């Protein structure tokens, strides 16, 4: 999947005009890129379109229109686009109650290293998490982590041929799995692979 360049982005003026339609298209696309694992953890799989939306929104919110600022945003977000042999996702631990969330985060230290994806009967692929920065502290983990799942060429081929995909978490404080992923989600993730 190719990275984004300035030529792929709309100007602030154009984006203001097209934002509602573009946003609706992205939100529809994202429905098949979300995997809830249990009641409180979700993987939001990124791709070129979801990252383009993130960048456009950042440029709009921060009113960035100069080339240097746009290049900085591209540099920050382009690494989240899959490379053809992996899946990249934003992992979120979600609790509506603040006290409950804080208690859970203090028990889930290291959870980012226990999230896995599995293609058919191949070995589980555990996430490579938070390559940009450390997101856990001594007394709690972060509610947001960035993850990459590196697949072998055999796994990639199997997915392209229709193999099932599963996801899960094996952490002492949180164990859950989704086996297999829904067909629409599976197809969306298969499209990330070359």
Q: Map out the domains of the chain as residue ranges.
A: 6-190
Give the pLDDT of residue 155: 98
Q: pLDDT tens for residues 144-172?
A: 999 999 999 999 999 999 999 999 999 99
Strand order of the β-sheet with 41-45 is 34-37, 41-45, 86-93, 144-150, 128-129
15 close to 158: Cβ distance less than 8 angstroms: no
Q: pLDDT-based confidence at 128, cuts 50/70/90?
A: very high
Question: Distance of alpha carbon 20 from its chain centroid, rounded?
Answer: 22
**88: β partners:** 148
Q: pLDDT-based confidence at 136, cuts 50/70/90?
A: low
Peptide bond into 192 cis (omega under 30): no
């Amino acid at each position: 999947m190719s990275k984004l360049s300035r030529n792929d982005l709309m100007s602030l003026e154009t984006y203001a005009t097209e934002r509602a339609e573009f946003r609706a298209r992205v939100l529809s696309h994202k429905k098949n890129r979300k995997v809830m694992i249990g009641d409180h953890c979700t993987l939001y799989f990124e791709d070129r379109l979801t990252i383009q939306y993130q960048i456009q929104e950042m440029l709009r919110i921060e009113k960035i229109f100069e080339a240097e600022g746009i290049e900085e945003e591209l540099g920050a977000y382009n690494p989240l686009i899959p490379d053809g042999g992996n899946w990249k996702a934003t992992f979120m631990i979600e609790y509506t109650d603040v006290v409950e969330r804080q208690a859970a985060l203090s028990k889930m230290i290291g959870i980012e290293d226990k999230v896995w994806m599995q293609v058919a009967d191949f070995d589980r692929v555990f996430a490579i998490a938070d390559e940009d920065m450390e997101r856990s502290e001594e007394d709690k983990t972060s509610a947001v982590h960035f993850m990459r799942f590196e697949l072998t060429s055999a796994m990639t081929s199997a997915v392209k041929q229709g193999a099932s995909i599963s996801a899960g978490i094996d952490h002492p404080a949180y164990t859950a799995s989704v086996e297999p992923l829904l067909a629409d989600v599976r197809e969306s993730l298969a499209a990330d692979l070359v």
